[in-house]
Amino acid sequence: MPGRWRAAVLAALGALAGVVAQAQDFTTLKGHGGPVTAIAVSPSGQVLTASFDNSLGLWQGRVPRWLEGHDAAVTAAIFTNDGVPVSGSDDFTVRIWGEAPRILGSHRGKVTALAASPDGRYVASASWDGTIRLWPLVPGEAARQLADPGAGVNALAFDAVGRLFAGTLDGRLIRYDEAASMPVPLARHGFGINELVAGPGWVAYGAVDGGTRVIDPENGALIADFTLERRPILALAWHRGTDQLAVGDGQGYIMIIDTARWRIARDFRATRRGPVWALAFSTDGKVIYAGGLDDVAYAWPVALLDRFDPANAIRSTVPRAEAEMPNGQRQFVRRCSICHALDAGPSRKAGPSLHGLFGRRAGTLAGYPYSPTLKGSDIVWNEATVDALFGEGPDRFIPGSKMPTQVIAAPEDRADLIAYLRRATSE
């Protein structure tokens, strides 16, 4: 074989081997019934995923053990220092999932963030109700509420010495030096701060307007600014051993920052459709886990991100583009698919299956935990009642139900949705 041909064949084989290696290293964690809202990795390497389907998945390889108990979407998930899962939810509760799972406590609003203290004594939780609370993990300790942060809180992070940082809905970054202390103002961003990470000598935050900044935890002085034309910032994750800070945004991109040199190391589109709601590194920093609108968590090998387009690997796992769908199906995908399946049988989605919907009395599908409002309803689902549900909105048509507010203003869109549901729920 001539030398040049032999070289070409070897190059082709090498490229093929690289593609095979990439396919082997790329991983999906499948099983949730709704978007993945949070991801955490334990000190031993176990992965925890939280979802809009009201549940958490504790993964052994690609096999989940489901943690059930929340009555609404799970919005935050962490591990304690001992590797015990803790979660917060839209049902206002904070739960710990040890040998005897229990509710640590409750807020009066959505739980938005959790953080474990470095000494292992407390889990901190934050809420849109404007409170930050410390829940004890050791006997003899009492729960505490920190001094008023002044607004609803989106983000929490402890540093290595136990100081707690909080990001608020009105764009302030504050620091609590002790549980009984008043908050110390560090930054006023102007837009809501969604995410925080506290590293050695720095605090990074991501904001609603796309702001991605690193400040001095002592005085708030700016250390670095990585703001790009993408918004909002919805996820941050830091790996101490490899100095990697991952930033996820609403447009489906993940940026990885080298925190030793304060430079962008990688920047790639991770999803076909944004946002990136959840990020976590593996214990060795070689894999980045990501979650978003899909009911799947993705695991990207960090070393391969420069060699191929990560979004190509997930094209077979997401539905065809909405632009290619008939209008009725598009309305279902946008308004209903996160909570409802169309197939008969059990579903992991947050709402009941819509299979056989037309002619069924509301609140009667066996095995689904309906709210008392729907259990006692005399509504029968047909074209007129489905039209009224989306024309008026669930909060008006069925006051007191668990259904999120969804209004479809255009009559033609409602008609197309009803026609699609009529066909799809009877197949």
Structure-token match 């939780």, residue found: 125
Query: SS3 for 235?
Result: strand
Q: Which residues pair with 29 in a beta bridge?
A: 297
Query: SS3 for 178?
Result: coil
**pLDDT of the residue at 304:** 83
Determine whether 217 is exposed, middle or buried from the number of CB atoms within 10 Å of its CB (0-12, 13-18, 19+). Answer: buried
Q: In the chain, what's the furthest Cα-to-Cα distance?
A: 81
In Å, what is the CA distance from 299 to each residue of 28, 30, 87, 235, 314?
A: 6, 11, 21, 15, 11
Structure-token match 């410390």, residue found: 134
- Tens-level pLDDT at each residue, the chain (427 residues): 444 444 443 444 344 334 333 434 688 999 999 999 999 999 999 999 999 999 999 999 999 999 999 999 999 999 999 999 999 999 999 999 999 999 999 999 999 999 999 999 999 999 999 999 999 999 889 999 999 999 999 999 999 999 999 999 999 999 999 988 999 999 999 999 999 999 999 999 999 999 999 999 999 999 999 999 999 999 999 999 999 999 999 999 999 999 999 999 999 988 777 799 999 999 999 999 999 988 899 999 998 887 666 666 665 444 555 667 899 888 888 788 878 888 887 778 878 889 999 999 998 988 888 888 888 788 999 999 999 889 888 878 888 777 776 788 899 989 999 999 999 998 7
CATH number for region 322-424: 1.10.760.10
Give the type of residue at 69: G
**pLDDT of the residue at 322:** 63
Residue 99 tokens, joined: 């040998």
Same topology between domain 24-317 and domain 322-424: no
Return the HEC string of 336-382: CCCCCCCCCCCCCCCCCCCCCCCCCECCCCCCCCCCHHHHCCCCECC
Structure-token match 């259990």, residue found: 375
Instruction: Quote the radius of gyration of the chain (alpha carbons, Å).
Output: 23
Query: SS3 for 419?
Result: helix
Structure-token match 């008006």, residue found: 396
Q: Give the pairing type, strands 102-106 and 74-79.
A: unpaired
Query: What are the backbone angles phi and psi of residue 362, rounded to the nearest 5°?
Result: -60, 140
Determine whether 256 is exposed, middle or buried from the number of CB atoms within 10 Å of its CB (0-12, 13-18, 19+). Answer: buried
- The DSSP 8-state label assigned to residue 141 in this structure reads -
Q: Is residue 127 left, alpha or beta, with left meaning phi > 0 and alpha meaning psi from -120 to 50?
A: beta
Round to whole Å and give the CA distance between 130 and 153: 6
Round to whole Å and give the CA distance between 164 and 258: 24
Query: SS3 for 311?
Result: helix
**pLDDT of the residue at 305:** 81
Selection from 247, 385, 297, 353 nearest residue 50 by Cα:
297
Per domain, the residue ranges of the chain are 24-317, 322-424
Give the type of residue at 322: E
Selection from 218, 102, 206 nearest residue 159 by Cα:
218
Query: SS3 for 21?
Result: helix
Q: Considering only the top CATH level, what class is 24-317?
A: mainly beta
Length of the chain: 427
In Å, what is the CA distance from 187 to each residue of 167, 175, 204, 214?
A: 9, 10, 11, 11
**pLDDT of the residue at 313:** 63
Cβ 355 vs Cβ 366: under 8 Å:
no
**pLDDT of the residue at 367:** 81
